[in-house]
Amino acid sequence: MTSRGNAQTPHRYVLPFRAFPEVMCSLRRTVRAELHGCGLAGLAAEAELVVTELATNVAKHVGMGSAATLILEIHADAIRVEIHDMSYQAPALAEVGCASECGRGLHLLAAMTRDWGTRVTASGKAVWCELPLPEDGQRARIQRASVVLGEYRELVGAVAVPVLSHPQAQEEAATTLIIDLLHWLVSHGCDPDDILDRAQQHYEAELDAAA
């Protein structure tokens, strides 16, 4: 299930899963696809590691095959990863020198993320981590486009524009939106070729400035 917000709410992806080792690859692929779709491919490796650690903790400490849910949110300044499970027992950092593996993954998460924590839910708990996003004008443009495409998908219907996690669906959604914009420009007496030329010039100028 995918949920996407508007300009005031984050891009949100929700995926229930069972905490088996063979599911970890699927979780990583999902996170990678979502971040690529939002123009955040550079943070995919870190986010995949966070998801793997959190999901592995569910398998180890809640139970192999336990029901859990991944929630991935992309905010204006951070990527937030949450794993919900059905245990009320909060994880704890392992003490220095502890022979047990329990809690060692949390030390890694604490070191590589901006913040992390746990909270009690109606059915158990959620463990969350936040990865900071760098300030970047191009990233801001990409995120705005992601919001628009998410709302556009809902406007035209999920059948017409498939789930945006897949590259082909992203291209189809963007192409359909551009066609609608061209019709809108013509209806307002604008020259679509002139608009496209100007947009291309601005785009190339921004790429040159960022190089």
Residue with tokens 């604008």: 190
* CA–CA distance, 62 with 192 (Å, rounded to integer): 57
Residue with tokens 């709410």: 9
153 plus 123 within the same structural domain: no
Cβ atoms 42, 86 nearer than 8 A: no
Structural domain boundaries enclosing 148: 137-210
Q: Which residue did the predictor score with more confidence, 142 or 69?
A: 69
Last residue of a domain, one of 132, 152, 169: 132
96 plus 145 within the same structural domain: no
**For residue 160, what pLDDT is reported?**
42
29 φ/ψ sector (left φ>0, alpha ψ -120 to 50, else beta): alpha
17 plus 121 within the same structural domain: yes
pLDDT (tens digit, 9 = 90+) per residue, 194-208? 999 999 998 888 878
9 plus 108 within the same structural domain: yes
Question: With helix as H, strand as E and coil as C, how does 162-188 read?
Answer: CCCCCHHHHHHHHHHHHHHHHHHHHHC
Q: Which of 47, 79, 63, 62 is nearest to 143 (CA)?
A: 79
pLDDT (tens digit, 9 = 90+) per residue, 87-123? 998 876 544 344 444 445 666 677 777 888 999 999 9
Cα Rg of the chain, angstroms:
20
